[in-house]
Structure 1
Amino acid sequence: MPEWPEMETYRRLLNDRLCGRKIVRATVNRAKSINEPEDAFVAGVTGTRILFVERRGKQLVFHLDDGNRLLLHLMLGGWLACGPEGPKEDDAFQIILEFDDGDHLYFGGLRLGHLHRMSAKQANEELKPLGPDPFDPRLTPDAFRSRLAARRGKLKSVLTDQKLVSGIGNCYSDEICFDAFVYPGTAVPSLDGETVERLYGSMKKVLAEAASYGGYMDKPLTPNDRLTGGYDSRCRVYDREGEPCVRCGTPIVKEELAGRKMFYCPHCQKAE
């Protein structure tokens, strides 16, 4: 599932490419991917321009010049492609937006994900439960410590709770824990102040680095996109079961925690 770095990469690339572009045609191949009748959605977006694209956690918000928003959540398996032509046949995409310069934005894999058209007020209400962005200036070390102290459960489960901090999922929770030398199955109430401080620093470090390499999800936005997916080969533990730890050489272990895959080094991240 796309997380903070993947969606931040999409946001940057889409802003560079689509800002000011007018939508001249919309195609909906899967009605369940939108939140209103197909005719209403098509009529509502056609003729509008994208002012800018915002990211909120794992979601993108397309700000339209009529005051409405397109709220995108890719969920598991969702991805985007942009160009005069798609990398697959048009019917492989759930939604396609065509722009006045001949460019197209293709929404693929929206079996669980969706693109909803709504008012600014509705979008704000929808996003209200989200926790702060990892790089929100108000999320200071003290604020992070306070939010974490109010939680129970295992660390990985808490880090992936979008109400704590928005944007962290399966991959980066493991990468953050590895960077901070913390076992992801640790009970949150047992974390001491020094460990929480390390987690805070690792959160910022790992997410910033991952975004600089385009995230781990290898789904280029355009045929010339050489950035998206560049972090996949740089993951230290995620999907590295059996490979030697980059720090100590111990084989990376894969376990399951609350239905989620969990990867860690049993030597560098000892379970208490």
Structure 2
Amino acid sequence: MPELPEMETYREFLSHNILHKPITNVEINREKSINQSVQSFTDAILGKNITSIKRRAKHLIFELSSGNYLLLHLMLGGLMFLGNTNNSPDRTKQIILSFGELQLNFIGLRLGYLHLLSKEELDEKLQDLGPEPLQLNIDDFENRIQTKRGSLKPLLVDQKFIAGIGNCYSDEICFQAKIDPFRKASDLSVTEIKQLFDSMKPVLTRAIKYGGYMDFPMYEGDKKTGGYNSNTLVYEREGETCNRCGAEIKRAESTTHKSFYCPNCQK
């Protein structure tokens, strides 16, 4: 599932390519991916411009010139491709928004969605999300984590605790902090809490720099998207050598999460 760095990569690219261009055609191939009838959804956005694109947690928010918003959550398996009829991927597209010859394809939205919302509906939809990790300060982080009793892995991927982190970057952050992802939050020392906090921003900004770990290109000739795949610290590196200490990276699974970690580095 795309996490904060992947959605930030999408946001940055789309902001340079589709802003202030009128939506000239709307194609809906899966009505369950939207929150209205095809006709009302199409009528509401056709001819409108996207005036800004923002990210909140794992969502993208497209602000329309009408004052309404499109809220995107790609969920598991969702992705986007910006191109034209000549280079469009041979994949099923649940939604296609056209900007003249440019087409923004939404692919793999079996669980994901693109919902048309008013400002009030948008605020209500996002109201339970936790703070953004790149904007969080140490005092707020300490206050939030000191009330928790569970293990770090499920805590870090809880969107009500901190928004935007998922399976990949929770493992990467714990590795950077040299903390076992199965440690209880209540057992962390003040020093370890600070190590965890100090690891979030470097891991996430590095992942954004490399284009995240989604390995499907965003456009023809895209060499950036998915670049983090070859730069992960522990995620999906089971059996490989730890870059820090040389030990073997392990994988562990619970009923809800899988984790990759170095048993030597992460005490």
- Decide: shared fold, TM above 0.5: yes
User: 1:9 is paired with a residue of what secondary structure?
Assistant: helix
CA distance in 1, matches of 2:131, 2:256: 25
User: 2:16 is paired with a residue of what secondary structure?
Assistant: helix
Provide the identity percentage.
Answer: 48
Residue in 1 aligned with 2:222? 225
Instruction: State the one-letter code of the partner of 2:89.
Output: K
For structure 1, the residue ranges without an aligned partner over 5 or more in a row are: none
Whether 1:198 aligns to 2:199 is no
Whether 1:124 aligns to 2:135 is no
For structure 2, the residue ranges without an aligned partner over 5 or more in a row are: none
Residue correspondence of structure 1 range 35-114 to structure 2 within 5 A: 35-85=35-85, 86-89=87-90, 92-100=92-100, 102-114=101-113
Q: Deviations over 1:14-58 (max 9, x none)?
A: 000011011011001111101111111111110110001100000
User: 1:179 is paired with a residue of what secondary structure?
Assistant: helix
Q: Is the 8 A contact 1:185 1:257 kept in 2?
A: no
Whether 1:251 aligns to 2:248 is yes
1:208 positional shift: 0.4
CA distance in 1, matches of 2:253, 2:48: 45
CA distance in 2, matches of 1:239, 1:172: 11
Q: Deviations over 1:136-182 (max 9, x none)?
A: 2xx21011111111222110100000111110000000000000000
1:258 positional shift: 4.2
User: 1:17 is paired with a residue of what secondary structure?
Assistant: coil
1:72 positional shift: 0.2
Aligned length: 266
Q: Deviations over 1:160-217 (max 9, x none)?
A: 0011111000000000000000000101100111011011110011000000110011
Whether 1:260 aligns to 2:257 is yes
CA distance in 2, matches of 1:44, 1:89: 28
CA distance in 1, matches of 2:205, 2:255: 27
Q: Is the 8 A contact 1:253 1:264 kept in 2?
A: yes
CA distance in 2, matches of 1:120, 1:224: 36
CA distance in 1, matches of 2:153, 2:211: 23
Residue in 2 aligned with 1:13? 13
- 1:214 corresponds to which of 203, 211, 215: 211
Instruction: State the one-letter code of the partner of 1:72.
Output: L
Structure 1 stretches of 4+ moved >6 Å: none
CA distance in 2, matches of 1:179, 1:87: 38
TM-score where L is the length of structure 1? 0.96
Instruction: State the one-letter code of the partner of 2:53.
Output: V
User: 1:254 is paired with a residue of what secondary structure?
Assistant: strand
- 2:167 corresponds to which of 149, 166, 170: 170
Q: Is the 8 A contact 1:53 1:63 kept in 2?
A: yes
CA distance in 2, matches of 1:98, 1:204: 35
Q: Is the 8 A contact 1:157 1:258 kept in 2?
A: no
TM-score where L is the length of structure 2? 0.97
Residue in 1 aligned with 2:29? 29
Instruction: State the one-letter code of the partner of 2:126.
Output: L
CA distance in 1, matches of 2:17, 2:162: 29
- 1:241 corresponds to which of 234, 238, 242: 238
CA distance in 2, matches of 1:70, 1:239: 33
Q: Is the 8 A contact 1:96 1:106 kept in 2?
A: yes
1:4 positional shift: 0.5
CA distance in 2, matches of 1:81, 1:159: 29
Instruction: State the one-letter code of the partner of 1:13.
Output: F
